[in-house]
A and B are shown apart, each in its own frame.
Chain A
Amino acid sequence: MLFPTLTFGLFFLLVYALAWGLKASNEWRKIALLLASWFFYAGWDPRFVALLIASGLLNWGAARLIAAEGRAKARKAWLAVGIAINLTILGFFKYYGFFMEQLEQALHALDWQRDLAIMQVILPVGISFFTFQGMSYVIDVYRRKAEPASLLDMTLLMSFFPHLVAGPIVRASHLIPQFQRVPELSRGMAATGLSLIVWGLFKKAVIASELATGLVDPVFADPSAFSGIDLAAAAYGYAVQIYCDFSAYSDMAIGLAALLGYRFPHNFNQPYRAASLQDFWRRWHISLSSWLRDYLYVSLGGSRHGLVRLCLALMATMLLGGLWHGASWNFVIWGALHGGVLAGERLWREFRPKPWLPLPHWVRVAATFHIVLLGWIFFRAESFADALAFLGGLGASGAPALLTPLLLALIVLGMSFHHFPPFTIQRVAIRVRAMPALPVGLAAGFLILIVDAMRPEGVAPFIYYQF
């Protein structure tokens, strides 16, 4: 069930009516939301609802055992069990096939001629998101940053449909306290929610879909068939597409949750205006980057053990961040590029000769964006060889075959979003909340109508569904 579809629209209208109709009883409201979330998830594959429930139960149990235990060693042991359970679930569904293929190749290199019997494992949608959410809950309870939650709150935290399949990764300390009281809706929340939903629909259905079908997908499928101009346009196009696709999902998730009375955290903040890679990671997929910082980078020592350890921690964090996206060498290279540049930036800050002036701000913004762009080529290409073929083809002469005025305009428009004044949506919402409901609804309806008339046939899944 994809957000920008009529099926989801009808589903949401029903959930909205049910959730506010049950306002008198918070427990029944949460039960209704939990059942609706499982129904939403069953739309992909009903079998994996059991996995979602089991994962919620195991994390709830591990956290209860940690909280009930007074001895430090035993608490640590239960924490290890909790993390191991999550990593086992993630590892089996996401990395089993990859590691078995690597093992088979290694055995073949050692003259082992027989093939391994490798099971075909179906990847449950959103597994990376809900296992990371479960892990953060168990770790927060261990660190005494979160109280152990009730089974209903914990399973709803992991299953809540707006963030279930592609984030944002909402932590227990943020959402559980909201579950514990009857949510209150303000006109500001509703106005921001509606604005984010319409804005997200435009970014996904018009910009991301048009760039994907008209330019990015055909060029990345066969880079050798296109000129350097098409390849460069596809690289910039992908940078815009992935932002418009993923941030659109986050915007819609935040907006939908707001209409149900819940506040989700930020996930994007104009990332391509970043003047360094460190700044980029404070603006891109904020819920993942802060997760990696708090639960991985800090656990690896962070900045507490000197510069060398810090650089190693950065590198390891970004390599694992790359692998979080999927089992592929291209994601490892993408993570290594980001980790290497982050470490380089840190070393440069420490050792930059004093007389050297910092580069102008716009040069640093452009340089950061192009490092990110290079990473996206590896991120998007099917294989390392494809990525190299793409980079090699950038110098190929010839007229553009796919680039059209509209696609160029969409790339420019998508880039311009990063240089809009901050809080543009919130400024719109401040005006909207003061208006009567009827014109607001009519405007929202007509804007959605225009978006629907502009979008290509069908709805492609969001890019981050595969992670």
Chain B
Amino acid sequence: MATRRIDADREIESGERPPPADPDGLALTESPVDLPDPPQPLPAPLRWTTEAIAAAALVLALFNATAIRSWSYQLDSNDVTARVVTAAEGWYALTDLAGLNRPVVATHAGWQSVKDLRFGQAAEQPPPPP
């Protein structure tokens, strides 16, 4: 896609040296999604994007069943959502059996231990009861 540079001088305040020519050919354009044209055309953009989104969705569905289950319990209660809850519970049980929930649980626990770190004397005190 052809890009249009926007008044690049505006970006440079006096005292700040003007940037050298960008090695990737990037410049301040109208939109942040404007990139310089690739050296060779990249085929089938819609298929490429759809496959990438599908792969990301699959990863999240497989490894984040805990979040799916929590989300299902937050839905307003009715016949349809009751079935959603049952499905989410079933999916959670299945992925848990396969050990797919462990990476998220481990990451969450690791992050929690980083959150619990304290400075100086506060670090030596026992944490408050939950």
In the complex the two chains form, is B42's CB within 8 Å of A427's CB? Answer: no
Secondary structure of the B contact surface, majority rule: helix
Known contacts: A188-B33, A427-B26, A437-B48. The answer to whether A422 contacts B19 by CB under 8 A is yes
- Give the shortest distance, in Å, between A341 (CB) and chain B (any CB): 15
Q: What range describes how many residues of A lie at the interface?
A: 35 or more
Task: Please report the C-alpha to C-alpha distance between residue A254 and residue B31 in the assembled complex, in whole angstroms.
Answer: 9
| B101 nearest CB across to chain A (Å) | 11
A193, B33: Cβ atoms closer than 8 Å: yes
Please tell me if the beta carbons of A450 and B52 are within 8 angstroms of each other in the complex. no
* Min CB–CB distance A318 → chain B (angstroms): 19
B104, A452: Cβ atoms under 8 Å? yes
A298 to chain B, nearest CB (A): 16
A462 to B104 Cα, complex, angstroms = 25
Taking the closest CB of chain B, its distance from the CB of A204, in whole angstroms, is 16
Q: How far is the CB of A418 from chain B (nearest CB, A)?
A: 13
Given contacts A259-B49, A364-B15, A403-B119, contact A449 B104 (CB under 8 A): yes
Q: Is the CB of B48 within 8 A of A282?
A: no
Instruction: Check A441–B16 contact: CB distance below 8 A.
Output: no
A185 B38 Cβ-Cβ under 8 A: no
Interface stretch of the complex, out of A43-51, A156-164, A261-269 = A261-269
Residues in chain B near residue A27, CB distance under 8 A:
none
Given contacts A190-B48, A449-B64, contact A426 B32 (CB under 8 A): yes
Please measure, in the bound complex, the distance between the C-alpha atom of A275 and the C-alpha atom of B34, giving whole angstroms: 27
A188/B51 in contact, CB under 8 A: no
Tell me if A433 and B16 are in contact (CB < 8 A).
no
State in angstroms the CA–CA spacing of A342 and B58 once bound together: 50
For the complex formed, measure the closest distance between the CB of B122 and the CB atoms of chain A, giving whole angstroms.
7
**CB nearest to B54 among chain A residues:** A441
A192 to B115, CA, bound (A): 31
A442 touches B59 (CB 8 A): yes
Cα A448 to Cα B61 with chains together (Å): 12
Verify B32–A433 contact, CB threshold 8 A.
no
- In the complex, residue of chain B having the shortest beta-carbon distance to the beta carbon of A425: B32
Instruction: Tell me, in angstroms, the Cα distance from A448 to B60 when the chains sit together.
Output: 8
A203-255 CB contacts (< 8 Å) to partner B: 210, 214, 254-255
Say yes or no: A174-B30 contact (C-beta < 8 A), given A423-B22, A445-B60. yes
Within 8 A of A (CB), among B14-61: 14-16, 19, 22, 24, 26, 28, 30-36, 38, 42, 45-60
Does A258 lie within 8 Å of B33, measured CB to CB?
yes
Which of the residues A259, A266, A442, A452 comes within 8 Å of B31, measured between beta carbons?
A: A266
Interface string of B61-76 (1 = CB under 8 A from A): 0011001100100000
Asked if A147 is at the interface (CB within 8 A of a chain B CB), the reply is no
Report which of B32, B34, B59 forms a contact with A449, defined as CB distance below 8 A.
B59
B103 proximal to A (CB < 8 A): yes
Answer yes or no: B98 CB below 8 A from chain A CBs: no
A136 → chain B, closest Cβ, in Å?
Answer: 16
**A140: interface (CB < 8 Å):** no
User: Which B residue's beta carbon lies closest to that of A358?
Assistant: B15
Q: Are B59 and A441 in contact (CB under 8 A)?
A: yes
Task: Give the CA-CA distance A266 to B10 in the complex, in Å.
Answer: 15
Q: Does A1 contact B (CB under 8 A)?
A: no
A residues 416-458 in Cβ contact with B at 8 Å: 422-423, 425-427, 429-430, 433-434, 437-438, 440-442, 444-446, 448-450, 452-454
* A186, A214, A405, A422 — most chain B CB neighbours (10 Å): A186
Q: Report 14 cross-chain contacts, Cβ distance below 8 Å, ordered by A residue.
A: A186-B35, A187-B48, A196-B32, A263-B33, A274-B13, A405-B119, A422-B19, A422-B26, A427-B26, A438-B51, A438-B55, A445-B60, A449-B64, A452-B67
Known: A279-B13, A399-B121. 5 other contacts (CB 8 A): A194-B53, A266-B30, A399-B122, A441-B59, A452-B67
The interface of chain B, by Cβ under 8 A from chain A, is: 1, 10-11, 13-16, 19, 22, 24, 26, 28, 30-36, 38, 42, 45-60, 63-64, 67-68, 71, 103-105, 107-108, 111, 114-115, 117-122
